[in-house]
Amino acid sequence: MDFELRSLRGVATDALTRLAEDIFGRGERAPGWFARKLQREAVDPELSVLAVAAGASGHVPQDMLLGYFLIGQEPGDPVAHSAGLGVIAARRGGGLGRALVEEVAARLAARDFSTLRVLAEPASEAFYARLGLVVSARRVTLLAHGTCPISHVLWDRELADRSKLPWSPAPTNSEPLEVCAWRAGAWARTPPALAATLEPLPGAWAHVSREGRALLVQRMLVARDVDPAAAVAALLACTPTGMPLLLYGADPVSSITATLPPARDVEVSEPAHSRGEFRVAQRFAAMDLALRRRLDNPRRGDG
């Protein structure tokens, strides 16, 4: 093989950041975004795997970094979560992606994890399916734009004054409805300076975080007697005009999602031309690999 697989131990965050941007592009990410990602997703450097050119020294030069598979874990959870798999463009299609997944699966099995879970966008589903992963759920990220006539600067100051409440229990005596959700651990590790829990109307709560120029709803709950669509509209009404609001991890076929303003597939960068109208910004599937079994259907060219 002309590559080696190693843990992330001892690799500088700046080097990993540049590798990630080589793979996925710089975009509009704020400085320090990758370090925050590693922390928030509880990336374990021993479970994660880095691909480097064969013969690389302990201090790997940037041009010998080929790809990575980042793995996060929550204490006591037998399910390990992918925090991103990527290979530089010049090395795609040669089996490096498969090798990264196989190596991670072996490391997780040795540590008694039961499942590897990835969030796969449609273009990646076939790749993961060939490795034996199966779809356990489908989710979407919905995008709309705020409608409140308040400056972004003033709103950020107000957000900083709001408290960040725990993921659970919900602030209601009854079992609430969940409009959308990411993961409890990710919320717990989001810095308080960037996060707050909003109550856009009585009986509705949104765990939100500032992500670049957007507002990410990591979880939204409504009491049983509250209309979810009204709660989301109220959240948009307190979000600055033009600020992207993202509902992450919504069920694409739930009765709650169906009550929101019409959604259609568009790119996130497309300008909003109907305030309060939701669009599908991202589709993804939760795909699981049951560990302690050999990966199925080996095929050349994976990854």
Tens of pLDDT, residue by residue over 103-155, are: 999 999 999 999 999 999 999 999 999 999 999 999 999 999 999 999 999 99
Residue ranges, CATH 3.40.630.30, the chain:
3-113
Distance of alpha carbon 120 from the chain centroid: 10
Question: What are the structure tokens assigned to 143, written together?
Answer: 């995008």
Report d(CA 267, CA 287) in Å as an integer: 23
How would residue 261 be classed by pLDDT, with cut points 50, 70 and 90?
low
What is the tens place of the pLDDT at every residue in 183-230? Answer: 999 999 999 989 999 999 999 999 999 998 899 999 999 999 999 999
- Write down the pTM of the prediction: 0.87
- Which of 3.30.365.10, 1.20.1250.20, 3.40.630.30, 3.20.20.370 is the CATH number of 3-113? 3.40.630.30
What is the tens place of the pLDDT at every residue in 141-178? Answer: 999 999 999 999 999 999 999 999 999 887 777 789 99
Which of 92-101, 263-272, 278-287 is the least confident region? Answer: 263-272
Report d(CA 80, CA 110) in Å as an integer: 13
Q: How far apart are the first and last CA of the chain?
A: 15
Question: What are the structure tokens assigned to 253, written together?
Answer: 């076929």
